[in-house]
Every structure is written in structure tokens, then in C-alpha cells.
Amino acid sequence: MQLWLSANSDSPERPADALILPQGEQPPEWASDIPTFTTSDGALTDGEGRTLGACILIEDQDGQEAALEFVGLAQWLLLDCLDWTMIPLENLVAAAQGSGTKIAASIHEESQLQGATFALQSGVDALLLPAKKSMWDAAELLAAERLAETGGVVEESNGVLGEQVELVPLEIISVTPGGVGDRVCVDLVQNLELGEGLLIGSSSNALCLVHGETIESDFVPPRPFRVNAGPVHSYILLADGSTRYLCELEAGDEVLVTSISGSRAVAVGRLKIEPRPLLLARFRTKNSTGGDEVEGQIFLQQAETVRLVGVSKETPSITHIQAGELVLGSVGGAGRHLGRPIGSEVEER
């Protein structure tokens, strides 16, 4: 993590990684070898006048949205939260991970230092500080603490998934009654093929492949555009690699339709939410690196037409599946904040 000095020509000497000057201001004499950036009209520029990024004042939701538009485009985002709150900073740190955009936070009080340094554990990439000595002393200690925690290596998130996902075997531990819940059917704008479905689960790092309603039944006609995805709290994997709660899904959102042959992005046409009896299936596996066992769970409607995908391409119904059977799903990966992969630790049970 870098420490930047908010400077002018009279600033006292500080061990800064960079100086941030208002337009037209000259750096102090002692700082001739320190990189100098200038802020003007919402832009952050280097000594040769090249734009490095944007300076965003976050006063409300509009300010946060303005900053998010630069993620993945700008090299740096210099953020100043008017009423200092952690939520917008955490949201932007999460959004920037793996994007190539670095976050700098303008700090005005010592009480803000720790939150910015360890936001979502990974923290910001730079702190912009006034020349106050006590604040620099505190910031240097926190920077050293963070460096020690990462072993001197900057930890990046795994980034977003592409339009492919690795499917692995999941062993069913048990299937038990799950009460009554608000079940969501996800109706897509394209028909699904046999073997295709959506990745769903109660934990974002342990998702089951829930098959589409493409199979003929004696009692109801097939709905090849539909996946009976489970109750409103469940995660669903989107096409950009992020997750979303089923209750937050909207028409037009692109989800990742997946099979053992590959994956594709398909838009949601509508959602159908109704109270229905549920079953709770618990499962486990080993993660992709052969490390600790991963356990997860999924709630699904108690109906013969709700199916998972077996390892041998069979499609067992949730009402008939037994402990010990193997189904397909996706496990592991980064923790998530607002559905985005992040480098910090997240535990869900």
C-alpha cells in the first residue's frame, strides 16, 4: 500500500510514495525525486500531463455510481467520501479487484485509517494523507501490519469467471424436509437443451447444477425455458461470474446456463415466485486443489420435475435422490461482496 502526501510548496518532508498537488502548485524542494500527480477538474494527471485516473467526491449513491463507471477503465481512482462511511469504499474495493484499477482513499482523520487500510481485508492501494506527523506515524504502522499479513505479496481476487465453469462431483449427504418457502422459477428467453441448467446454492462457493424443465412428465408438460431454482435466499451464478440472490434477479439479467459440454450466457425473461414445500439437500466434495473438504446445501421445491444433473448425465429428481449419489456442481473460488469475487475471507454456512 502506498502513502501519498497531499502537498504544496511548503509541505514538511514525509516518506511519501507520491505527492498530490493542486493544479499550478509547485512541489517542495525536498521532493525532487518523488513522483508528482496533479488534481484538476476531476482528473488525476502525472507530471507530463497524462491522465492516470479520476478524482471522485462521494456524497451519495450517484457519486458511487460515477466512480464505478471508471472501474476497469482508469489506472487510479482517488476517492473522497464526504461523510466518511465504509460501505461505498468497500463496494469500490470489491468492484476494482481484478479489474486493473487501483483505489486511493483521501484520509482526513486518523480514525479513518484502519478502515481504508483493511477494507474487505485487502484494503485500498494508496492512502492520501495530509502532512500531519501523527497521521503519518499511524499510517506507516498500518501499512507495515498489512504487508506482514500478506507476506509481502499483494493478494488479488480470482477475478470474474469467464463464460465457462468447471463442474465437479458432489456427494449427496442427506435430503430432508425444508419447510415452506418462496420458490423462484427462472424463465429464460431461450430454450434449454437436455443436460443444461443453472448453478444454484445457499453458499456462493458451493453451487449445484439444477436441470431445466426439459424432460417429459406424465403429469405436466415440459417447460424447456424454465429452471425451478429454489427459494429466494439462494445464490445464482450470472454470466459475468458474479452471483446474485434469486430475489434480486430481474428480467434482462444474464445468467450462466451450464452443462458438461460448456456454458453460455442467456437473459432472464421473467421470474415466477410462489410459496411451495421444500427439500434441503446437503452435499460435500473435495476442492479442485485436493485440499479441505467443501460442504454446501441447496433448497429445492419438493416436486418430481425438479432435477439435478448426475455425473453420468442422468438427471435424478430431488424427490428420489439418495445419500451417496453423485451430482455435478461448482465449488471453491473467492469470497464475495455484493456478488463480486473478492480476495478476503468469507464464510457461509
Grid cell of 63 as nine digits: 457519486
Q: What is the pLDDT of residue 85?
A: 63
30 and 45 in contact (C-beta within 8 Å)? no
245 and 141 in contact (C-beta within 8 Å)? no
Nearest Cα neighbor of 196 from 328, 325, 285, 331 is 328
Q: What is the pLDDT of residue 52?
A: 86
Neighbours of 27 (CB within 10 A): 17
Task: Record the pTM.
Answer: 0.54
Q: What is the pLDDT of residue 154?
A: 40
Determine whether 270 is exposed, middle or buried from the number of CB atoms within 10 Å of its CB (0-12, 13-18, 19+).
middle
Give the sign of the dihedral formed by CA 334, CA 337, CA 341, CA 342: negative
- What's the pLDDT tens digit per position in 207-242? 999 999 999 877 788 999 999 999 999 999 998 888
The CA-atom distances, in angstroms, between 335 and each of 7, 122, 182 are: 37, 12, 26
Q: What is the pLDDT of residue 113?
A: 83
Rounded to whole angstroms, how far apart are CA atoms 253 and 86? 28
Q: What is the pLDDT of residue 150?
A: 56
Q: What is the pLDDT of residue 157?
A: 35
* Domains of the chain, start order: 2-149 (3.20.20.60), 168-333 (no CATH)
pLDDT along the chain (349 residues), means of 10: 86 88 84 86 84 86 84 87 72 81 87 79 84 88 75 40 72 95 96 95 92 86 94 94 92 93 91 96 72 86 94 91 93 55 52
